[in-house]
């Protein structure tokens, strides 16, 4: 009887990280729905929550000492939706709402489909990551959650969701060209060989061996609390700075 209880308890424990990953997936789908309905700020927050789930599913799995092939595959599928498809749709809508750049009709309707490249390159990056044995303690290229937050932030600026009072809002508000430029830049960063900080606590949870990770997580939380969705762009800049400084110390 006790043995059966332990087996059931172990089965439940194994599914806790997978449940968080599934929540990530559902949040990504919900973000797409809200984006299509032009509820952009809600969609942005849903993607932020999906990114939090993406962090905690791995964190909880290591904390509970559980690991499964299903969890790894589910994680990639969830990331394709939340950090590939969702930001693609977000950028798609932002491009469609920007003023036309020419006198030709339907210019934006055609150009908006270039945003779908983000989804394709995100899927390629995730497939590459699953096969790349070098990316255990650090990432090569910009991770899909960070890339998604970058695109969402710039799209919100373009859509005027943050107002038009600061320099960045003025630079991106109702502008089509900056949105088109960020697409190839984003695709390159996803599949590049640039070393980036990984938020994996693969050597325990002690502060000394994970100091850089804790500093980044604490700083990011502070930025988001103080600035709201507009702070997502600051989080990405902070992430790149921390990654560069961490790489120089090695």
CA-wise closest residue to 90 among 126, 48, 140: 48
Q: Cα-flanking dihedrals φ and ψ of residue 220, to 5°?
A: -65, -45
Is residue 137 over pLDDT 80?
no
pLDDT tens string 17-62: 889 999 999 999 999 999 999 999 899 989 989 998 998 887 787 7
- This prediction's pTM: 0.81
162 pLDDT band (50/70/90 cuts)?
low
Hey, what are 143's tokens?
A: 């991770």
- DSSP summary character for residue 230: G
Per-chain mean pLDDT for the chain: 81
Given pLDDT bands bounded at 50, 70 and 90, which one contains residue 69?
A: confident
CA atoms within 13 A on the CB side of 247: 16
Query: Confidence band (pLDDT; 50, 70, 90) for 1?
Result: low
Helix (H), strand (E) at residue 195: strand 195-197
**Is residue 220 within 8 Å of residue 160, measured between CB atoms?**
no
Q: Which two tokens stand for residue 95?
A: 């491009």
| pLDDT score for 59 | 78
Type and span of the H or E element at 185: helix 177-191
CA-based R_g, the chain, Å: 19
**Domain extents in the chain:** 2-194
CATH number of 2-194: 1.20.120.1760
Reply yes or no on whether the pLDDT at 87 is more than 60: yes
* Residue 116, pLDDT above cutoff 90: yes
- Reduced to 3 states (helix: H, G, I; strand: E, B; else coil), residue 41 is helix
pLDDT mean over 189-208: 76
């Amino acid at each position: 009887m006790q043995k059966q209880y332990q087996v059931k308890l172990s089965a439940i424990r194994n599914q806790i990280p997978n449940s968080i990953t599934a929540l990530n997936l559902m949040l990504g789908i919900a973000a797409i729905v809200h984006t299509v309905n032009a509820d952009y700020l809600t969609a942005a927050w849903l993607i932020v929550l999906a990114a939090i789930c993406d962090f905690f599913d791995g964190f909880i799995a290591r904390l509970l000492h559980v690991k499964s092939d299903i969890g790894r595959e589910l994680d990639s599928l969830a990331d394709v939706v939340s950090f590939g498809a969702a930001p693609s749709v977000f950028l798609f809508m932002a491009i469609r709402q920007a003023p036309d750049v020419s006198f030709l009709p339907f210019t934006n309707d055609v150009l908006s489909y270039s945003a779908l490249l983000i989804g394709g390159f995100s899927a390629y990056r995730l497939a590459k990551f699953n096969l790349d044995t070098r990316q255990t303690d650090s990432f090569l290229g910009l991770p899909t959650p960070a890339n998604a937050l970058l695109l969402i932030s710039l799209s919100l600026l373009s859509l005027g969701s943050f107002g038009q009072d600061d320099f960045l809002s003025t630079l991106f508000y109702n502008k089509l060209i900056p949105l088109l430029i960020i697409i190839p830049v984003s695709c390159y960063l996803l599949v590049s060989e640039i070393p980036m900080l990984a938020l994996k606590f693969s050597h325990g949870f002690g502060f000394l061996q994970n100091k850089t990770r804790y500093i980044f997580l604490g700083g990011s939380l502070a930025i988001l609390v103080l600035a709201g969705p507009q702070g997502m762009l600051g989080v990405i800049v902070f992430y790149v700075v921390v990654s560069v400084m961490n790489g120089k110390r090695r």
